[in-house]
Each structure stands twice: as C-alpha cells, then as structure tokens.
Amino acid sequence: MAAKGSPLERDVARSLVTRCLKVRAGESAVVESWDHTLGIAGAVVDEIRRVGGRVLQIHEDETAWWRAIDRRQGRLLGRGSAPEWAALGAADVYVHFWGPGDTVRIERTPEKTFDEAMGWFSPWYASARKSGLRGARVAVGFATEERARQWGIDRTPWEERILRACLVDPAEMARRGAGLVRALSRGDAVRITHPNGTDLSVALSGRPARLHDGTPHARDPRYGPYDMLAQVPGGRVVVALDSRTAEGTIHANRRTNIWWYWNDGGTLTFSKGKMTSFSFDHGGKEFSRSFRAGTAGRDRTGSLTIGLNPAAREVPVLESVELGAATVSVGQNRGLGGTNGSSFMNWVTLGGGEIAVDGVPVVRAGRIL
C-alpha cells in the first residue's frame, strides 16, 4: 500500500503548488519521486489536481535502480526513456524529490559509475529551458534513514525541520532579501567576521545578485540556465565574487553537504587573492582530492551566499539558506556571471556572523538589518 502523506507533508504540498509554483487550472505537471518520498509526492499530486491541474506521477523504484547499477547499466539509466523525455517536453510544471536514498551505497559506488547514471542532467535542463518548464526540487528527499545514521542524527525531527522550512512564504523571503540584493549588486567590498576568529575580506564582481526565494525563474534573463527549478526550501541571495581579491580566514560552524559526502569544521585562509590553506575536522580528504584535480581558479573565491530562511537554523542540507548565514565558495562562478571557469567548486558556511558591504553592516548575529 502506498504511503500516505502526513498533515505536515500535505501542508507543504499545498504551499508548494499554490505559493511556490502557482499551478493553474489546465496546466500539465510531472511529479517524480523515489520510494522514500512517495507520501509527500502523492500529496503534491493531490494538490495539483485540487487546483485543476493535470498530472503524471513518475516513481523510481530504488531497488530496481540499484540492480541496474549492479549490472553496470549506469549509462542506460543516464539516458532516460523516450516517454519520460516526451512528458518533460509537454509539461508546464515539474516537481522532483531527490533520490536515491541509500547514501551508503552511493558512497561505495565508483564516481564514474554514478556520474554515468546521472548523465541525464545536462540534456534534461536543455529540454526544460527549451519548453519553458518551471518547477522545484525538494530537499526533503535528502532526509533518509541511511544519511541520518551516517551523520548521527534522528531522521524524524530532521525531516520535520526541513518540511517546516518549506512552509516559509516566498514573498516573505523576497521582502527580506530585497535590500541585500541592492547592496550586493552595487557594492565593492564585503567583510565577514565572527567571534570564532573569522575575518575575511572579499570583493564583489559587479554582477547583479540573485534572489532565490523558493519560486522558479524560467526564461528570466537575470537568472542562470538552471533556475527554472527552484530549490525548496528556498531563501538565499547569491552573488559572484571578484576572484582576484580575498584576504583573511573563515572558520565554518555549519556542515557542508555535497551529495555523496559532507565536511565539517572547515577553515579556509586567503592571502593576496589566493586560498593558501584549508583544513577540516571531517571530509578534508574528499575536499583535497577534488581540489587537486581541479583546474586553474580552484584557489580563488567564487561566490557569496546569504541565507534568508528563518526556519532553517542548523538544519543539515539547509545550511546555505539559514537566516543570516554566509556561504563562501571557491572555484567556478561563471554560472553567476563571474570569470572563474575552474572545474572545481566547494564551499563553507558560517552562521551567526556579521556581514558588512562597503563598511555598512547588512547582517549581524544572524539577523538581516
């Protein structure tokens, strides 16, 4: 028997359909999920139909997916099927819940094999851009028993906190982020400080900052090629940095979660624009391996993200949207209009700090000023 969405999942589904995606009567939608997200996916299907939308639900059976991996059919998985591509081209709206859920197996799977299975990524977005699709990828799919066990946390409250962060009104976050967008789009220099010893000065690139409030931005020239899909929960302002300028140190106090691994306790130090050292309490080996394989620009700043979501405080996988949190990336930033074309990108997040633009504080102790 299929899982039934909880009252909280149904509330999230209604918010997603009516406030984030604004589905209209007569529109066609595709909802794609894995085994562990069937309950909330079913709630989204119900809400789309409630407003008069037409919907196709796609279920990826995890056991069958892993059997294909065991048969070395990663490339087959990465191509997708003709009916799915046709559905994508005909849809107005798309909702996706992340999977697979077995992160232990993900980490055991050779990176090349997993990359082959995700080979649909670039052609999928190309098709979505062509059709004008708008949609959302919902982070609750990351809250699995396997991942919770790996991180030493309880899945049930973790999942609930992600869902509650999904309920924050995008309009509220848009209002909260408007001043930050202006300051980061017009400013020159940013300084990030914290009582933990963080004191990092970086330069802005002159490119416009982007507001991600949990609504999609299909065919909006101010946004990037992947922004027809909103990340939900939303709530962040992101801007490209001038990769030639950085001085000081940032000590992360939030995790960084990057699909198949995570790092914690990161410290990045910069001098004369270059990252001169890095260290981590956890995950340093993976960061170092990826960094060594990266191309030119891997040791330069990429972007600054400031979180806007008041319900996302210290929630694993939501670090970058936590209200007032500063996320600094190194490496590639061309997707934001920057000049850094490195093949490497990684980041660290600091919560509860102070952020000043051209000497004027815009964030203090996790509060937007």
Say if CB 113 and CB 51 are below 8 A apart.
no
Contacts of 75 (CB under 8 A, 6+ apart): 116, 117, 119
Q: What's the CA gap between 220 and 211, in Å, rounded?
A: 12
Say if CB 74 and CB 9 are below 8 A apart.
no
Q: What's the CA gap between 262 and 255, in Å, rounded?
A: 7
Q: What's the CA gap between 140 and 137, in Å, rounded?
A: 9
Record the tokens describing residue 288, joined without a space: 């170092």
The domains found in the chain, sorted by start residue, are 7-166 (3.40.1830.10), 170-224+232-368 (no CATH)
Contacts of 95 (CB under 8 A, 6+ apart): 16, 21, 29, 30, 31, 32, 41, 44, 135, 136, 138
Secondary structure of residue 319 in the 3-state scheme: helix
Q: What's the CA gap between 326 and 319, in Å, rounded?
A: 9
- Per-residue pLDDT at 3: 65
Each residue's pLDDT expressed in tens, for the chain with a length of 369 residues: 456 789 999 999 999 999 999 999 999 999 999 999 999 999 999 999 999 999 999 999 999 999 999 999 999 999 989 999 999 999 999 999 999 988 888 888 998 998 999 999 999 999 999 999 999 999 999 999 988 988 889 999 999 999 999 999 999 999 999 999 999 999 999 999 999 999 999 999 999 999 999 999 998 888 988 999 999 999 999 999 999 999 999 999 998 876 566 788 999 999 999 999 999 998 888 899 999 999 999 999 999 999 999 999 989 999 999 999 999 999 999 999 999 999 999 999 999 999 999 999 999 998 999
- Per-residue pLDDT at 209: 97
Give how far the C-alpha of residue 309 lies from the chain's centroid of Cα atoms, to the nearest Å. 13
Q: pLDDT (tens digit, 9 = 90+) per residue, 242-287? A: 999 999 999 999 988 765 667 889 999 999 999 999 999 988 888 9
Record the tokens describing residue 53, joined without a space: 């939308």
Contacts of 259 (CB under 8 A, 6+ apart): 106
Pairing of strands 28-34, 360-364: unpaired
- Per-residue pLDDT at 1: 41
Pairing of strands 134-138, 229-232: parallel
Report CA torsion sign: 216, 221, 223, 224: positive
- Per-residue pLDDT at 260: 60
User: Quick one: which of 71, 58, 152 has its CA closest to 117?
Assistant: 71
pTM, to two decimals = 0.94
